[in-house]
Structure 1
Amino acid sequence: MTVAGAGSFTDLRQIDAGVLNVGYVDAGPPDGPAAILLHGWPYDIHSFVDVVPLLTAAGYRVVVPYLRGYGTTRFLSDDAVRNGEPAAMGLDLVALMDALHIDSAKLAGFDWGARTADVVAALWPERCQGLVSVSGYLIAGQESGKAPLPPKAELAWWYQYYFATERGRNGYDKNRRDFNKLIWRTASPRWTFDDATFDRSAAAFDNPDHVDIVVHNYRWRLALADGEPQYDDVEKRLATQPKITVPSISLEGDANGAPHVEPSVYAKQFTGRYEHRTIGGGVGHNLPQEAPQAFADAVLEV
């Protein structure tokens, strides 16, 4: 299927939340039930451009933020550490909900966004009415990141090792659009997107903090970069791999070319009402953009 680049978000807002000034979309009735949609790397808010109207038509207020290091989201302080650790991004989401006066919402995402939603669902379940997580349970600590994987699995993480070097950091900075287009193609090998679709999202990678956030995220996972002390207690809790008790649906595309495990591996981490759905038809890693109806259905039904 060829996906055209037409369609975009025209009403982008900004709000101070925690350590960030966050760029976000806020669509649908302000008094509707809230759903917050979270993108991953290397993608942006346009992964949900066809999901949002499906949810607003059902009466939902839908919030889609740029994560730290993407689009129009900026740090409030020039001196802030450009930190990509999971605890920081989980607390970014809580701070955004507080700033928008959203006590609780359905949380849904993929890649980094799924991990961020998982973190909040696990540690602050009162903030999460239901969870939709592509590739399921993605919470892990630095200790688990030190464990070697089988060679085939390690090969799939090639970019993590590339980012561990200064050559990799410089290469990503110099070639971020070509690099990320390669990731799009390998992570979704059967998704035929056009240049306009990629370029619409690639503008988000021009964020001045983008490279620092991406590199720190992957170096932190390998314990090659430290986090910030204020997040240590949260990371200790995440390292225990806490169960997710809220109603949850995990999704997986049948043609996901990005590193992922079988649903049977993580199913035990969901102790509330839980269902897994595999989405067929050649759907890859960017599931909400490749299969927006299936993603929206999960959000509505969780």
Structure 2
Amino acid sequence: MTHTLRSAAPTTSGTFGPLFQIDAGEMNIGFVDLGPTDGPAVLLLHGWPYDIHSYADVAPLLAAAGYRVVVPHLRGYGTTRFLSAASLRNGQQAVFALDAIALLDALKIPNAVVAGFDWGARTANVLAALWPDRCRGQVSVSGYLIGSPQANQNPLNPTAELSWWYQFYFATERGRRGYEQYRSEFARLIWQTASPRWSFDEATFDRSAAAFENPDHVDIVIHNYRWRLGLADGASAHDDLERRLAERPRIGVPTITLEGDANGAPHPDAATYRPLFDGPYEHRIIDGGVGHNLPQEAPRAFADAVIDVDGIAAARSTSTKGDDDVRTTQQ
């Protein structure tokens, strides 16, 4: 592989390939790059509190199928670092998409199937909505997750509010100090509640928990959740992007949405977001006790969704005949 690397040689990711570093936008991004460099690109985006190892089994499956698979550490995770010490440690939703575009540009990748869960699914949504020319198709766990501080001012019923307890905790300075001190314990609790039937072992957890030692991790997480509630400002340079996202733009690129049958994290009902996808669309429920970290818990189902949505995109590019296929299937 040929990349403009800051380090003389790649380091190891711990499991599924060498970890490269590249300057992209305001970040120096750590990423895994598997498969043929001339293959169709797939960008896999992780969530919180997880890391690139959510794709440790998905990425090799896709590489073996002929895809170039890029899996970056998000800002605030792993080896990804800000290029300037003066940069705002910004976690608003638009910046993760801007980081993704900058990474694709740095790697000279014109477009990719973008797939993610949690924060990564929201970022995939943003890319598909605002940069459809760069997003050949998307796979999104829990569907449409684009939001805004304005929309988040509306209260939910008490049961729903309870599921967001950590968001309110992070709004306090006690919560910030608590997360700083207990970030590993916090992540373990979220893993257990979001995926109540996933029996992960200590080695699996420790491998991902190392990514939370990033010096910007706490700042990014706290800013992300405070920004969502309107308690922290984003960067004014991104105001126009956020205004467009606040309008809940429809997504026209080929999309497969996924949901685990045992997802213990807050997530919308699929019927509520179906109208927001007006391109080729399919929804899949993945059964067998699959929780929030769907790619790590059901890697074959996730990889299949990526391959299938790419096939839909390829068929769409050669033919405009037929209606969009809308199905709900069990796997």
Partner residue of 1:95 out of 102, 107, 115:
102
Partner residue of 2:143 out of 133, 136, 140:
136
Match runs of 1:1-302 below 5 Å:
8-302=15-309
Q: Structure 1: where are the runs of 5+ without partners? A: 1-6
Structure 1 residue runs of 4 or more that deviate by more than 3 Å after TM superposition: none
Q: Structure 2: where are the runs of 5+ without partners? A: 1-13, 310-331
Q: Tell me, what secondary structure is at the counterpart of 2:22?
A: strand
Deviations 1:56-92 (A, max 9, x none): 1110000000000000000000010000000111111
Q: Distance in 2 between matches of 1:163 and 1:241?
A: 25
Q: Tell me, what secondary structure is at the counterpart of 1:159?
A: helix
Q: Tell me, what secondary structure is at the counterpart of 1:192?
A: coil
Deviations 1:244-266 (A, max 9, x none): 00000000000000000110010
The one of the two structures with greater contact order (alpha-carbon pairs below 8 A, sep at least 6) is 1
Q: Tell me, what secondary structure is at the counterpart of 2:154?
A: coil
Q: Tell me, what secondary structure is at the counterpart of 1:243?
A: coil
| Aligned-residue offset at 1:115 | 0.4
- Report if aligned partners of 2:17, 2:33 keep a CA contact under 8 Å in 1: no
Q: Distance in 2 between matches of 1:276 and 1:120?
A: 19
Q: Distance in 2 between matches of 1:39 and 1:150?
A: 28
Deviations 1:119-169 (A, max 9, x none): 010001000111000000000111001110011000000000000000000
Percent sequence identity is 69
Q: Which amino acid aligns with 1:229?
A: S
| Aligned-residue offset at 1:292 | 0.0
What CA RMSD, in Å, does the superposition of the two structures yield over aligned residues?
0.9
Q: Tell me, what secondary structure is at the counterpart of 1:125?
A: coil
Q: Tell me, what secondary structure is at the counterpart of 2:86?
A: coil
Alignment match, 2:328: none
Alignment match, 1:4: none
| Structure with the greater alpha carbon radius of gyration | 2
Q: Distance in 2 between matches of 1:278 and 1:150?
A: 25
| Aligned-residue offset at 1:53 | 1.1
Q: Tell me, what secondary structure is at the counterpart of 2:143?
A: coil
Q: Tell me, what secondary structure is at the counterpart of 1:193?
A: coil
Alignment match, 2:327: none
| Aligned-residue offset at 1:9 | 3.0
| Aligned-residue offset at 1:10 | 3.7
Q: Distance in 2 between matches of 1:20 and 1:261?
A: 32
Q: Tell me, what secondary structure is at the counterpart of 2:138?
A: strand
Q: Distance in 1 between matches of 2:296 and 2:82?
A: 28
Q: Tell me, what secondary structure is at the counterpart of 2:150?
A: helix
Q: Distance in 2 between matches of 1:219 and 1:247?
A: 32
TM score, norm. by length of structure 2: 0.89
- Report if aligned partners of 2:24, 2:99 keep a CA contact under 8 Å in 1: yes
Q: Distance in 2 between matches of 1:19 and 1:147?
A: 33
Q: Distance in 1 between matches of 2:22 and 2:197?
A: 37
Q: Tell me, what secondary structure is at the counterpart of 1:8?
A: coil
Q: Distance in 2 between matches of 1:232 and 1:131?
A: 25
Deviations 1:36-62 (A, max 9, x none): 000000000000000011101110000
Q: How many residues align?
A: 297
Q: Distance in 1 between matches of 2:234 and 2:59?
A: 34
- Report if aligned partners of 2:115, 2:139 keep a CA contact under 8 Å in 1: yes
